[in-house]
Each structure stands twice: as C-alpha cells, then as structure tokens.
Chains A and B, each alone.
Chain A
Amino acid sequence: MSTKSELLYTLYKTMLRIRFAEEKLVEPILEGTVRCPVHLYSGEEAIASGICANLQDSDFIFGNHRSHGHYLAKGGDLKKMMAEIYCKETGCSGGRGGSMHLICPEKGILGIAPIVAGTISLALGTAMASSIRKDGNVTISFFGDGATGEGVLYEAMNFASIKKLPIIFACENNLYSTHLPIQEIRAKNTIVDIANPFNMQSYQVDGNNVIEVYEASREAVERCRSGNGPVFMEFLTYRYRGHVGPDDNIQGTHTDIRPKEELHLWLKKDPILQLEKYLLDNSLMNESTMTEYKKVVSDEINEAVKYAVESKFPHKEEVTNYVFRKKN
C-alpha cells in the first residue's frame, strides 16, 4: 500500500467520522436529550481533515462554535466529545463547556470558543510561544467568514506578520454569518484579499476538495514550520445545516434564509462523495471496502453516543468547582 493511498484512506475515515458524528446528533437535538447549542460541521469536513492531516500532536489548534470537526480531525477523543455535547461529567470539559468548549491539551487542542474571532488572538499567542521557544510547532486558527467582521483578526494578522509567527489563519467561508449571506456583511466577497495589506502569503482553496485542502495546507504548514509564516487561507465551502441545530434554514421554513437550489448545488459538491469518486476512479478503493469503513465508523459513533448517554451528569454540589486552579 502506497503512502498516498494510506493518506487518502485516513482522510476518508476522518471525514466519515465527522459526518457521522454530526448527523448522529440530529435526533437527540430534536428530541431534547442534547440541549446545549450545537453547530454542525456537515459539509465542511474536508477542511479540518485536510489541514490536520499535516499536523503533529504538538501543533496547536483553536476553533470556534462549529468545531466538532476540528477536534476530531486533530485527534480529540470521540467518546469524550460526545459526552461533553451531552454535558456529562465524563466529557472532555467535565460537562462545564458543552459543544462549544471542547478541549484536549495532549493533542494540542487548547480550546474552542463561540465568541466570534475570540480565539484568533489566543492562537496568535501559542504561535508567539512557539516562536519564543523555537519548538517548531505550528498553530492553526480556525474561524468563519463572520469573523472577518471583527477587528481583532486584522490586529492579529498584522502582529503575526511583523513577528513572522508560525500561524495559519484558516478562514472557512461557508457563505453565511449566522442568518446573513456574505454579500450583506462584506463590502467585497473575496476574503482571501484581506491578507494582502499584511504582507502575508495567502491561498484560496476549494474547501470541499480534501486533496486540494491537504496539498495547500501542507505547503502552508511547511512555510510556517520553517520560519516563513504566517499564512492566510480561505476555504470555500458550505454548511448543510443552519447556523445552529439541525434546521437547514431553507427559504419558506420558519428560519427562511437560503434557497433550496443553493443547498442542492452544494450537496452535489459533497466533500465525501468527491473523495469516494476519486478513490473509485483511481481504483484505490472499491465500494464494498467503503461500506466496511462506514460500518466501522458508524459502530464507533454509536458506541460513543452510548457512552455519553450512560455517563452521569456533574454533581450539582460541584457547580463552583474549577473557577480557580489554586484557591489562595
């Protein structure tokens, strides 16, 4: 088995794990067993999978409200993620964070947070720490098109560029900032251009093509690792579900945001289907192997959900635990 096909199998499996995990949450959200706000990543799997395939455990990532995919792609524990989404004591944040606060320091996942653009400066900081320590680590800051409206992004890009910090600003442009389409929130649509005034290498990438994502981000990661960062990357993609929860925000429904045709157009560009086609066309995998992969992943997801459901909620007496690390 060649290295390339191994890589493609890994990317395929990572994307399947993300998709299946996300879609498995739809029912429990609708029936109310999952209550915390959940922002599904379905449709955007290629980005997290493609980028993180270039990273080591010691590299850092920070995410936003829509970060289940980032967490899984970087190696976060699936059971602990599910348990956290169910707000259980066994979750990766002990049930104190929920879906929007996943963490796994041993895999370099130092935190995700839903304040739009709120973790960009934190990512700047880990990149600064790597630069001071000369440890060769790279930081990925994942954010969406909505975050380009926040001033801190531009402050961070400027400082990162002045100091040549090993950070990739990874903008996942899914065309919607909560309820607003991109043309209503930006004077100019092409996000990638915002890197220009900061003298920064930039890429615009098809975010639904995992091979392209992998190739471009491999170059970007290498660039950062060799001291020639930072890099700005815009990934063009689309989320199948609405901003929050399983609702698809189709016009005519109560959320009434986007045309049905638009969603259908993007479903044809599905990142998993695209990779499956590539694997089949190049005789790298056959359909029965794909079915096997899906079965394995599906079983794993079911087991994780079972673990989450069966886990205990935090004790109510422990509501003020963890406010401080040290009680003075």
Chain B
Amino acid sequence: MFSERKIKYSNALNEAIIQLMRNDSDVMLIGQGVKSPWYVGNTCSGLIEEFGEDRVIDTPVSENAITGAAVGASLAGMKPIVVHPRADFVLYAFDPIINQASNWHYMSGGNAHAPVVFWLIINRGGEQAAQHSQTLHSIFSHIPGLKVVAPSNAYDVKGIFIAAVNDPDPVIFIDDRWLYGKETHVPSEMYEIPIGKAFIRKSGNDITLISSSYTSFLCETAAYELKNKGIDVEFIDLCSLKPYDKNTILSSVSKTGRAVIVDGSWKSFGYAAEISAMISENLFGQLKSPIERVCLPDSPAPASRTLEENYYITKEKIIEGINKTLNYTE
C-alpha cells in the first residue's frame, strides 16, 4: 500500500485514533491530558469535539484506578486505549497491567480477555532527569500475556496502532515523542501492520543491525551513511517487540554472521539481551564476531545537558558498535 501523501508521525497517530473511533463505537480513549497538547502533542486533536467526553475521557491523576478502569471496560467488551503521557507514571499502574490484564485470559482458561491498548509516551531530553525520561519496554516484554509494539515512523505507527486496538489481547504501545515531527508516506485509509512482523529497511551482506522505535531512525541513517564507506549493513526495524519477528532476524544473521542490537533502554537484563540470546541459541557457530549491544548505560537518566549528551544513543555510537563488530579478530 503506497500513498503519495506525506504526513507527520503525530498526525498519523491522530488519524488512526479518529478512524478507529469512527469505525467502532466500542473504541474509547482515557487518560490524563487527552484534552491538552501539553501532554499528548496533537495526537488527540479533534477527538473530544467529534466523539464527546463520554468516549474521550480526561482524568484525575490516578494512574492505578484509571488504567484498571480501562482494563475493566475491555472485559465488558469495549476496546479502550489508555494513555500515559509520561511512561514513568505507568509504574503506578503495574497491578492492572501486569497482575490483571496480562493474566486474565490465561487465569480464566480462555473465558475472558482484555483487549486494551496501554499507550506509553516517552518524553525525554531537555534536562528532565530520571523520572521524566524512562523507556520501560524491556520490563513489559518480560511479562507473559502482554504484546509490545514500538514503531519508528508515521506509516508504521498508524498501521500498528490500528492492529493493536483491534487485537484481542492487551498491547503496550511504546510511543517516542522524538518521532512526532518525522514525516513519511501514509495512506489516508485504515490499514493494519501485523503485530510480530519486522521490516528490512535496508538490505546488506556485511552485518545485521536490529532496532526499534526512535533508535531505528538513527540506525537507518547510520546504515546509509556507512554504505558510502563501503560497509553493507542490513538493517531490521522490529516494529513489534513482542512477539517479534525471529525468522527475519535469523535469516539475516545467518547471512551476515554479525549482529548489532540497538535498544533505547538499559543494557543489563534488557531487550537487547533477549535478542542476543535468541541469536546465540539458534546460530551458535555461525557467528563471525560477538553480538554487540548498543544501549543506555546502566544509570538513571541525568539532568545536565553535558551528561544527557553522553547518555542517549547517537548515530555515532551505533557506527562505533558496527565498526567494533566488523573489526573483531579472534
């Protein structure tokens, strides 16, 4: 599906919500700040005007109860989207997500299910420090019963968000605000990107680069930059973190023999460790070099700009990781 129209990531997300709500009266949105661009950018523009305050509900600061209410509504057959405009605050709502929603289908022997989308906005940088910057997808990916998606561009966010809302299971949607201004071609009609499918953004033979969300944007830039230097990177954008596209990863790494995983969360015990382990389990002996992880240091996010610069993943750090892997000698 190709469209000439180019729109921004945040507009694509807004369009997805509007179309979902027009299409299905069971779709509802609840969370703190849905009335306010201060919280959610322009992703919720026009929603209250069109759908009213019954289905688009701004809330008190009560993450636990509000998230649980979304889960409860889903048990009654609604398709709720609950937004946490700063992912850090979702830690108040671990019970309804991890104890309740993720377990409900299993615990009930398949007799009930919680089709709710937990929309977590990462809003970091600008010296916001440790409690306004966190990226928590590794934690959620660990939990049985949860699906996790982390798109990297406007086309993907529309398609995967629609798929997430229509999915019968609870889905965590990792939404990076640093992507809001980025434009791609986006069809105006509704479409789904299947959960669990990765995309090869650039094919290549020398090394496999794997990422998701905002760091995919950096990886793609790095991959094309290295092409000019004669390094042929194959870049896989996961889009879905759980379930994830093992086959695409394995067929790429069995071709290149090298893998660099770039993940915007902490390194130890994190998402990149899982991908690395999975590759090792399947392709031990075919690897030409150790698997490299480019992640955040095991440290809370700092405030000061000098520290921030050194904390977050950059294109340069990704290229450094790729070079390290390519230059590995036994």
Contact = CB atoms under 8 A, between A and B. Distances in A.
Is B a genuine binding partner of A?
yes
Interface of A: 60, 62, 91-97, 101, 103-105, 110-111, 113, 115, 118-132, 151-152, 155-156, 158-159, 162-163, 321-328
16 contacts: A92-B108, A95-B109, A110-B112, A122-B75, A122-B96, A122-B100, A125-B80, A128-B57, A129-B72, A132-B78, A158-B60, A158-B62, A323-B106, A325-B113, A328-B167, A328-B194
For A62, A113, A130, which residue has the most chain B Cβ atoms within 10 angstroms? Answer: A113
Interface residues of B, number: 49
Nearest to B147: A328
Contacts, number: 161
A264 B68 CA distance: 40
A121, A127, A323: residue with the most chain B Cβ atoms closer than 10 Å: A121
Most buried by B among A103, A110, A155: A155
A106 B273 CA distance: 43
B181 interface: no
B110 A321 contact: yes
Nearest to B144: A323
Contacts of A325: 105, 110, 113, 168-169
B313 interface: no
B278 interface: no
B2 to A, nearest CB: 24
Contacts of A60: 76
B72 A122 contact: yes
A115 B95 contact: yes
Contacts of B145: 323-324
Contact of B111 (A105, A321, A323): A105
Nearest to A139: B72
Nearest to A60: B76
Given A94-B110, A125-B70, A111 B147 contact: no
A115 B100 contact: yes
Given A123-B72, A129-B72, A328 B99 contact: no
A132 B30 CA distance: 12
B60 A162 contact: yes
B108 A121 contact: no
A328 B105 CA distance: 16
B73 interface: yes
A272 B145 CA distance: 42
Given A93-B109, A159-B59, A326-B169, A152 B64 contact: yes
B268 to A, nearest CB: 26
Contacts of A120: 65, 68
Nearest to B194: A328
Contacts of A324: 105, 145, 147, 169
B78 to A, nearest CB: 5
Interface of B: 28, 30, 54-55, 57, 59-60, 62, 64-78, 80, 95-96, 99-100, 104-113, 144-145, 147, 167-169, 194-196, 240, 243
A59 B243 CA distance: 35
A260 B217 CA distance: 69
Contacts of B71: 121-122, 125
Nearest to B74: A125
Chain A interface mostly: mixed
Nearest to A108: B76
Nearest to B54: A132
Contact of A129 (B66, B73, B108, B147): B73
Nearest to A153: B65
Nearest to A152: B64
A121 B240 CA distance: 29
Given A91-B109, A325-B169, 18 more contacts: A92-B109, A94-B111, A96-B109, A103-B112, A105-B112, A111-B104, A121-B64, A121-B67, A122-B72, A125-B71, A126-B72, A155-B62, A155-B65, A156-B68, A159-B66, A323-B145, A325-B110, A328-B196
Given A96-B108, A101-B107, A131-B54, A125 B113 contact: no
A62 B96 CA distance: 14
A125 B110 contact: no
Contacts of B167: 326, 328
Contacts of B194: 328
A228 B178 CA distance: 44
Contacts of A131: 54
Contacts of B72: 62, 110, 121-129
A322 B105 contact: yes
B76 A129 contact: yes
B62 A159 contact: yes
Contact of A322 (B62, B106, B147): B106
The 4 closest A-B pairs by CB, nearest first: A125-B72, A121-B68, A94-B109, A155-B65
A223 to B, nearest CB: 20
Contacts of A322: 105-106, 108-110
Contacts of B68: 118, 120-122, 124-125, 152, 156
A21 to B, nearest CB: 20
A113 B101 CA distance: 11
Given A113-B100, A128-B72, A121 B28 contact: no
A266 B219 CA distance: 69
Contact of A93 (B64, B99, B108, B195): B108
A111 B145 CA distance: 17
Contact of B75 (A104, A110, A158): A110
- Of B95, B113, B144, the most chain A CB neighbours within 10 A belong to B95
Contact of B76 (A91, A96, A130, A159): A130
Contact of A159 (B55, B65, B104): B65
B60 A126 contact: no
